[in-house]
Amino acid sequence: MAALLVAFTVFLAWTPDISEQVLLQTYSRSGTVRIMVQQQPVFVQDSGPRDAPVIVLLHGFGSSLQTWDEWAPALEKNWRVLRLDIPGFGLSGPAVNNDYSDAADVARVIALLDQLGLQQVTMAGHSMGGRIAWNLAAAHPERVSRLVLLSPDGFPGPGAQNDNTYDVPPWLGLMKYSLPRWVLRMGGVAPAFADDSQLTPPLMQRYHDMVLAPGVRTAMLERMRQTRNSDPSARLQSIQVPVLLLWGEKDAFIPVSNAQDYLKAMPQAKLVTLPSVGHVLHEEAPHASVQAVLGFLARP
């Protein structure tokens, strides 16, 4: 009886993928292109002066390149801004090799930079994207001139060992079939804001649409299963470039206290915290956060 009830509930809340054509009509902008990288389609937005220094923006888990929409106009005045849907998210679709390891993420970004002829860039990343950014800076120091990390992922949580970062219970697999917008809002997106009134209906719609992109829900589950913890201190200590750490003081996902671990490993890093701001600080406080970045980038 319980199984029948669950099946009936899923049926009532059936949430199919949104077609790629519909998403492209809604979210394509000037400068958005799909580039084939290592046989992997990567959806990219490339804006700003072509002869300007380059900043690459990497979004967090469950997000997409549109997460930087409020930052882009300020950065584009003096920077070439490269944003991408990290494979497994948005319109890049699932990774063709089904590999969501740190090394695979780094290799895909490096291959994209190679294909675009970009030898050295400023890397910026939020949460999961921050983890990719600092891993890339550690593995390929010659490719990164500066590093901007917004509430970066990387240090294991209290009591965690070298095992799965995420607990993926079997019931979570139901999200592949049923994920109403209110469930995503309550369970994943709203808690990322200290003030969830900043999560406007259009913004929530975008989050929901991009999670419903073809294959993304399956890819998210697979990424969670493949994520592994390991002490990142040695890799972080190898990073010698200037580093800006940005954190919301009300971050409920990766607490601001984690910043001390990064500062210990990278003493050259500068920490800026934003009061009364949560995990997605670039969306909740776009002006304050991008001004901190512009100040950092202006330093010689």
Q: Per-domain residue ranges for the chain?
A: 16-298
Q: Positive or negative CA dihedral for 48, 299, 58, 61? A: negative
Say how far residue 250 (Cα) sits from the centre of its chain: 19
Q: Domain 16-298 adopts which CATH fold?
A: Rossmann fold (3.40.50)
* pLDDT tens digits along 135-147: 999 999 999 999 9
Q: How many residues does the chain have?
A: 300
Question: What is the average pLDDT score of the chain?
Answer: 92
Model confidence at 199, pLDDT cuts 50, 70, 90, reads: very high
Report the 3 state secondary structure along 264-298.
Answer: HHCCCCEEEEECCCCCCHHHHCHHHHHHHHHHHHH
Compute the average pLDDT of residues 246-254: 97
Q: What count of Cα atoms within 13 Å lies in the side-chain half-sphere of residue 238?
A: 13
**Host H or E run for residue 44:** strand 40-47
Give percent of the chain with pLDDT exceeding 70. 93
Torsion of CA 200, 64, 183, 99, to 10 degrees: -170
Q: Positive or negative CA dihedral for 57, 271, 269, 232? A: negative
Q: Which of 103, 106, 63, 124 shows the shortest CA–CA distance to 228?
A: 103
Crossing angle, helix 201-211 and helix 20-27, to 10 degrees?
150
Q: Kind of pairing, strands 243-248 and 270-274?
A: parallel
State the amino acid at position 255 in one-letter form. Answer: P
Report CA-CA distances (Å) from 225 to 87, 99, 167, 172, 173: 16, 11, 8, 12, 12
Q: Which of 109, 125, 17 shows the shortest CA–CA distance to 68?
A: 125
- Global model pTM greater than 0.85: yes
Report CA-CA distances (Å) from 89 to 47, 211, 238, 265: 20, 7, 29, 30
Q: What does the block give as tokens for 101?
A: 């390891």
φ/ψ of 45, rounded to 5, equals: -120, 125
Compute the average pLDDT of residues 101-118: 97
* pLDDT tens digits along 66-82: 999 999 999 999 999 99
Compute the average pLDDT of residues 29-58: 94
- Terminal Cα-to-Cα distance of the chain (whole angstroms): 67
